[in-house]
Amino acid sequence: MTYYTGFVLPVPAENKQAYADHATASWPMFKRLGALRMVECWGEDVPHGEQTDFYRATNAREGEVPMFSWIEWPDRQTADAAWARIMEDTQSFRMTDMPFDGMRMFWGGFSPLVDER
């Protein structure tokens, strides 16, 4: 069954193109590891909430834009194997010059509950 790794992170607005370039450059690695699709979404209509929101979740600072991203995998086993390989060989899979603060990014793995097309 299809499996997704989802990410939420803040990116400085002035780094929009640098982020797109970074994501595009990382796609061949994820594809080699079995990913089917990668989607990077730039926040455009992201309201500030009263109790919680994307800004609070990422501790976004003035001038930062929330990103919502996901990688689609054929199944959880492929995703788990890919992430294990990346974590065990960080030198080979090192992502340099990240145009965002990775310490304020969060992620998780998800299996579809409803998938209407």
Q: How far apart, in whole angstroms, are the C-alpha atoms of residue 95 and residue 31?
A: 15
pLDDT (tens digit per residue) in 24-75? 999 999 999 999 999 999 999 999 999 999 999 999 999 999 999 999 999 9
Contact 66, 46 (CB under 8 A): yes
Domain ranges within the chain, ordered by starting residue: 3-110
The CATH number of 3-110, from 3.90.580.10, 3.30.465.10, 3.40.30.10, 3.30.70.100, is 3.30.70.100
State pTM to two decimals: 0.86
Q: Which of 15, 77, 68 is nearest to 45 (CA)?
A: 68
Provide, for the chain, the percentages of residues in helix, strand and coil under a 3-state DSSP scheme, each rounded to the nearest 5. Answer: 35, 25, 40
